[in-house]
Amino acid sequence: MKNIKRYPTKKIYVGDVAIGGDSPISVQSMTYSKTSDIETTVEQIKALHFAGADIVRVAVPDIEAANALKEIKKQSSLPIVADIHFNHKLALIAAEVVDCIRINPGNIGNKQRVQEVVKACKQRNLPIRIGVNCGSLEKEFENRYGQTAKGMVESADYNIKYLEDLGFDDIKVSLKASDVQRTVEAYRMLRPLNHYPFHLGVTEAGTLFHSTIKSSIALGSLLLDGIGDTLRVSITGELEKEVEVGRAILKDAGLTKEGLNIISCPTCGRIEADLVSAVAQVEERTKHIKTPLNVSVMGCVVNALGEAKAADVAIAYGKGTGLIIKKGETIAKLPTDKLLDRFLEEVEVEAKKNQD
């Protein structure tokens, strides 16, 4: 697989997670509890951490939410980004405890208010994420450009300069629209104009099914262009899935090598076993493996032997029996009902070997 040349960006830190430069592309998500409900918010953060999130964002819409941040931060195992619109006082409270502030300087009020937020962030070395959303562009940009990629880029550029004029450059930027084309166009247009790390995402991307498709196309296109330093897949009503899909996009774009790359056939009339259940079991029972391995699980011998050549461990199902193949060599021929357990044993052995 070809190495993707990432666009060189400034490295910033959200807590202890580096973003940009040569740091790995991080995966974020956002809690959907009321932030003032500390217990539920902390539970959701734990679930996200367990699912593999690097950073979590929480909405801070009111004073109760802002006041809850101190305790949430104390109990959180992930760095926290406070998401704030319009109210600089909330940003000032949040800046005392969290690891990053997401604002749009343009909607926080007059320059003096932005200055206060910048000062508070500087005091604690907090970065600011400029989060441009196509649906909530500042009026001047919407009137001039409509809800377009150009409008988002102009807004981002304006907000970046706003912070730079105040001597602040610990910045990351997101440019989210609810469709693939405007999202990709905006990020591509803004990329050559500055060196700040980009947070990728399609906003309001819909259900698990639709968001997975939109996010894979948009984020996949950008990542393959070398654009993107951190990302969020937004999915209606899902938490851990956001992280799982985000990680899968990184893996399938070839940007992380972690865990199993499972090659399985779509099945057809030549199928010799219950492949659907077999692959589901492989996925479930190998979730804990972090070692990068290629495995293939194929329903008959037609393509199985070819795929097995490139796999660390493979199953080729046949009539009532099947083969276990390791790095192209057949190591066992077993009855169908014994194949899966043996395959999983061999996967564990390979994972351990490659880890040492």
Choice between 33 and 336, CB closer to ligand SF4: 336
- Please give the C-alpha separations between residue 233 and each of 8, 324, 333, in angstroms, as whole numbers: 23, 36, 42
Quote the Cα angle for 142-195-109, to 5°.
40
Based on the shown chain and the rule CB under 6 A, indicate whether residue 298 belongs to the binding site for ligand SF4: yes
> CA angle 195-200-203, nearest 5°?
140
- Looking at 192-200, 230-238, 243-251, 292-300, which segment touches ligand SF4 (CB under 6 A)? 292-300
- Please answer whether residues 340 and 315 qualify as being in contact, where contact means their C-beta atoms are separated by less than 8 angstroms: yes
Under rule CB under 6 A, residue 147 binds ligand SF4: no
- The distance of closest approach from Cβ of residue 275 to ligand SF4 in the complex, given in angstroms and rounded to an integer, is 7
**Residue with token string 């495995």:** 295
Binding mask of the shown chain, residues 230 to 269, with x at each position contacting ligand SF4 by CB under 6 A = -----------------------------------xxxx-
Q: Applying CB under 6 A, does 270 fall inside the site for ligand SF4?
A: yes
- Taking the complex as a whole, the smallest distance from the CB of residue 262 to ligand SF4 amounts, in Å, to 14
Q: Is 295 in the site for ligand SF4 (CB under 6 A)?
A: no
Q: Binding of ligand SF4 at residue 276 (CB under 6 A)?
A: no
- b or e along 10-37 (b: 16 or more beta carbons within 10 Å of the residue's beta carbon)? bebbbbebbbbeebebbbbbbbebbbbb
Spatial distance between the Cα atoms of 332 and 353, rounded to a whole number of angstroms = 19
Q: Which residue has the tokens 């970065």?
A: 127
Instruction: Give me the least distance between CB of 297 and ligand SF4, in Å please.
Output: 10
The answer to the question of residue 322 lying near ligand SF4 (CB under 6 A) is no
Tokens of 28: 């974020």
Asked if 336 touches ligand SF4 (CB under 6 A), the answer is: no
The answer to whether the annotation marks 307 as part of a ligand binding site is yes
265: annotated binding-site residue?
yes
With binding defined as CB under 6 A, does residue 339 bind ligand SF4?
no
Among 300, 323, 347, 351, which residue sits at the site for ligand SF4 (rule: CB under 6 A)? 300
Please report which residue ranges of the chain form alpha helices under DSSP H.
38-51, 63-75, 88-95, 111-123, 139-145, 149-165, 180-190, 208-224, 240-252, 275-285, 301-310, 336-355
Amino acid at 243: V
CB 351 within 8 A of CB 293: yes
Q: Does 325 bind ligand SF4 (CB under 6 A)?
A: no
Helix axis angle for 240-252 and 208-224, nearest 10°, is 40
Closer to ligand SF4 by CB, 1 or 268: give it.
268
**Binding to ligand SF4 by residue 349, rule CB under 6 A?**
no
Residues β-bridged to residue 263: 296
Binding residues: 265, 268, 300, 307
Give binding residues for [4Fe-4S] cluster as ranges: 265, 268, 300, 307
Name the site residues for ligand SF4 (rule: CB under 6 A).
265-268, 270-271, 298-300, 302-304
